Amino acid sequence: MVLEFGYGKGVQRVDVPDRNLMAVLTANEMEHERRGAAAVDYALEHPIGSPRLREIARPGQKVAVITSDISRPLPSYDVLPGVVRELNEAGIPDEDITVVFALGSHRPHTPEEKKRLAGEEIYRRIRCVDSTPDDCVRTGVSSNGTPFDFTRRVVEADLRIALGNIEFHYFAGYSGGVKALMPGVSTPDAIQANHSMMVSENACAGKLEGNPVRQDLEEALKFCPIHFIVNAVLDEHKHIVYAVAGDVIKAHRVGCEYLDKMYRKPIPERADIVLVSQGGAPKDANLYQTQKALDNAKHAVKKGGTMIVIGACNEGLGSAKFEEWLVNAPTSASMIERIGRDFQLGGHKAAAIAMVLENARIDLVSEMDDDFVRSIFLNPQPDAQTAFDQAMARYGEDATVIAMPFGGATLPMPPQ
């Protein structure tokens, strides 16, 4: 079977013998009753664990609506109009609403980016600002010592609404829910304290109960409550196919269950060879983004197997700190040791790659220089077919193969 994998704005093709191909992991077939803004409106009309937003909001309240920054796939322009309409129906005028873009550890937006995120009408009507890590209020400290410092405009609001999309997160279990608040509108120190728990065995994709990172995040709600959420589930092309609204925990969990139905992929066993791609541009613009697909694929590969990561990475690594960790590490294992004593954002993704290298070989098909790829402990390959042919030669004619053409979305579930 000839398989296609998105690669930048083009594709890479690989001819995999049918007898070797164990599975091609794509989204489970589902009938979605509503899409886009219609799904959001339905969720707002049928909140989970909460009254409607128009029943919670009161005239005179100052409202902060936290939404995703430009690096996240949430189409905020499909979500914000319904939220603002609910607030207006409750008697809250536009001038009492502020949209806060949750930067986390990312750069500020340009005015044009803010307009693109909010949509032209909302941007014209509603104050839209970035979160401000240099103007935060300490609301408390978690039992693990994480400082809960949040953007002042969010803390001082009377009503806090969090928007986001739900997808698998490689150490927080899932995105969405409280993550708009923490780490969304927090400080680098707070984010580092929370993310340092990523080395725990229970800090992994698809796990909520017993996940120390998720538990730490949700402890923030004791000190700075989120009064209402609207979270969306996206298809592989980043379009809304489902939405939940209401209580920050209860609604989020229902959204996670829907995501599981779409993207959890049971597999009979791990494979010798895993072919994985983010699905092409813009999701494979750099290795920092492509790492997400790589991390999901680790659940599909045998110990001692090979992961063939297909990502153009035409912008290189995508993070200065990520690059510093990879380039300066004497060995890949040294990054695992370092993250345990010196957690740094950016470095955490380098350590995540190092953890995968403990169990599997990683071949990278990219536009980066071969010598540079070798210097960061990966094996450069000129194209996916060549990488696959070499892997077959290593493992023999009976080698098993799993393909993940949208690896950032699908989560393989091998037998326990």
Q: Where are the domains of the chain?
A: 2-25+267-413, 36-263
Task: Give the model's pLDDT for residue 393.
Answer: 98
Q: What average pLDDT does the structure give for the chain?
A: 95
DSSP code of residue 61:
-
Examine residue 282 and say whether the peptide bond preceding it is cis (omega within 30 degrees of 0): yes
Q: Please report the pLDDT score of residue 199 as a whole number.
A: 82
What average pLDDT does range 197-204 have in this prediction? 88
Cα 29 to Cα 26, 319, 405, distances in angstroms = 9, 35, 16
CB 373 within 8 A of CB 364: yes
**pLDDT for 105 beyond 90:** no
360: pLDDT strictly greater than 90: yes
pLDDT band with cut points at 50, 70 and 90 for residue 237: confident
Closest CA to 222 of 257, 189, 249: 249
Picking from 222, 258, 255, 47, the residue whose alpha carbon sits closest to that of residue 139 is 222
% of the chain beyond a pLDDT of 90: 89
Q: 114, 232, 166, 178: which is closest to 411 by C-alpha?
A: 166
Q: Which amino acid is at 124?
A: R
Q: What is d(CA 89, CA 132) in angstroms, rounded to the nearest whole number?
A: 29
Q: In this structure, how many other beta carbons lie within 10 angstroms of the beta carbon of residue 48?
A: 17
pLDDT at residue 123 tops 90 = yes
> Tell me: the pLDDT tens digits for 71-81?
888 999 999 99
pLDDT for position 401: 98
pLDDT above 90 (res 211): yes
In the chain, what's the furthest Cα-to-Cα distance?
71
Nearest residue to 74 (alpha-carbon basis) of 160, 163, 178, 185: 163
Q: Does residue 376 surpass a pLDDT of 90?
A: yes
Evaluate whether 10 touches 1 at the Cβ level (below 8 Å).
Answer: no
- pLDDT of 238: 87
**The pLDDT of residue 104 is above 90:** no
Residue 206 identity: G
SS3 171: coil
Look up the CATH architecture of domain 2-25+267-413.
Alpha-Beta Complex (3.90)
Mean pLDDT along residues 163-188: 95
Instruction: Look at residues 347, 301, 348, 346 and name the one whose alpha carbon lies nearest to residue 199.
Output: 348
SS3 342: coil
Can you give the pLDDT at residue 73? 86
Report the amino acid identity of residue 19: R
Mean pLDDT of the region 48-71: 96
C-alpha 17/C-alpha 140 separation (Å) is: 57
- Split at pLDDT 50, 70, 90, the class of 51 is very high
**How far is residue 293's CA from residue 350's CA, in Å, rounded to a whole number?**
14
Contact present, 329 and 402 (Cβ < 8 Å): no
CA distances, 226 to each of 30, 246, 307, 404 (Å)? 31, 10, 40, 36
Asked if pLDDT for residue 7 goes beyond 90, the answer is: yes
Q: For residue 1, how many other CB atoms are within 10 A of its CB?
A: 12
CA–CA gap between residue 390 and residue 401 (Å, rounded)? 13
Q: Residue 312's Cα: distance from chain center in Å?
A: 19
Q: Backbone dihedral region of 377: left (phi > 0), alpha (psi from -120 to 50 degrees) or beta?
A: left
Structure tokens at 179: 């993550």
SS3 184: coil
Q: Quick one: pLDDT band at residue 106, thresholds 50, 70, 90? A: confident
Q: The domain 36-263: what is its CATH number?
A: 3.40.50.11440
Can you give the pTM of this predicted structure? 0.89
Each residue's pLDDT tens digit, 332-358: 999 999 987 888 888 999 999 999 999
pLDDT at 236: 81
pLDDT band with cut points at 50, 70 and 90 for residue 230: very high
Residue among 54, 255, 55, 67 at smallest CA distance from 173: 255
Q: Which of these, 400, 289, 313, 345, lies nearest to 20 by C-alpha position?
A: 400
Taking the C-alpha atoms of residue 123 and residue 96, their distance in angstroms, rounded to an integer, is: 14
Cα–Cα dist 177/101, whole Å? 15
Cβ atoms of residues 131 and 185 within 8 Å: yes
CA-atom Rg of the chain in angstroms:
22
Q: pLDDT confidence of 192, banded at 50, 70, 90? A: confident
Give Cβ neighbours of residue 234 (< 8 Å, ≥ 6 apart): 73, 74, 165, 167, 240, 241
